Amino acid sequence: MVNHMEVYEGKAKRIIPLDGEKAIMEFKDDATAFDGGKKAKFKGKGWLNAQISAHLFRVLEEKGIKTHFIGVAGDNRLIVERLEMYPLEVVVRNVVAGSLKKRLPLDEGTELKEPIVELYYKDDSLHDPMINHYHARVLGIGEAELREIERIALKVNDILREYFRERGIILVDFKLEFGKNSRGEIVLGDEISPDTCRFWDAKTKESLDKDVFRFDRGDLMKAYGELYRRFSP
Ligand code: 5GP
């Protein structure tokens, strides 16, 4: 939670508070999967994820989404607005993959009739359990805030799905995190990168995301680099 002046050290990022309402979000080269059970370092991953996140935040801002992104502050660093984060991971899904296969009797790759939004309580010691609105309200998150968070998540999905479709990529699913700024506004925080999204090449269905690392599907940096290349003119 970025609501004081301590450096916050995450698995793949570091948040360094600055004076005022700003912070630096530093992307590390570390990759972790399966609750930290699998770890590795990929030189250049932090740089790529910072560039990809910055780019996607700009795309969203242009379409009217409030994000914490302020600017790029060097190779693997972004300047962001400081937020008091909700302890939530908000997952949006368009295509069956990952943990959804344990919940619904649908095959991997099946396109969903409508997007699914899921809430998870962000807590490593509980292994980020899936929760519903009742659980979230008990945690102190109001119903109106939950509905607003889900509305923004679905709008982000509409924008990014179209953006990637135009670039030959299927946005399978992704995870967002939200916080409140000093004016009490709900703002999209964290990152949007191949660490937090599933991207499939529309033709080959090849993964261009962290599944390459999770399931040893080849060269992670090549996959992330290919994703980044698709944004370039
Ligand atoms: P799943 O629930 O299928 O494992 O994940 C759904 C989507 O959310 C995937 O795109 C995955 O990368 C992202 N996601 C879910 N939980 C986490 C998390 O704790 N960390 C990261 N980096 N991504 C997550």
18-46 pLDDT per residue, tens: 988 999 999 999 999 998 899 999 999 99
In the sheet that holds 69-72, the strands lie side by side as: 8-9, 13-17, 22-27, 77-81, 69-72
The kind and range of the H/E element at 1 are none
99 lines ligand 1 (CB under 6 A): yes
Nearest ligand 1 atom, CA 89: 16
Q: How far is the CA of 176 from the centre of ligand 1 (A)?
A: 9
Q: What is the pTM of this model?
A: 0.96
**Amino acid occupying residue 76:** N
128 lines ligand 1 (CB under 6 A): yes
98 lines ligand 1 (CB under 6 A): yes
Q: How far is the CA of 211 from the centre of ligand 1 (A)?
A: 10
Query: What are the tens digits of pLDDT across the range 89-138?
Result: 999 999 999 999 999 999 999 999 999 999 999 999 999 999 999 999 99
Rg (CA), the chain: 17
Q: Judge whether residue 1 has pLDDT over 50.
A: no
Number of Cβ within 10 Å of residue 131's Cβ equals 20
Q: How far is the CA of 195 from the centre of ligand 1 (A)?
A: 8
8 A C-beta contact, residue 21 and residue 81: yes
What number is the average pLDDT over the span 179-201?
A: 98
> Hey, is 129 helix, strand or coil?
coil
30 lines ligand 1 (CB under 6 A): no
Q: How far is the CA of 227 from the centre of ligand 1 (A)?
A: 18
pLDDT score of 4: 63
Q: How far is the CA of 200 from the centre of ligand 1 (A)?
A: 15
Q: Judge whether residue 2 has pLDDT over 60.
A: no
Q: What is the 3-state secondary structure (H, E, C) of 172-218?
A: EEEEECEEECCCCCEEECCCCCCCCEEEEECCCCCECCCHHHHCCCC
Q: Which domains does the chain have, with CATH numbers?
A: 8-81 (3.30.200.20), 84-219 (3.30.470.20)
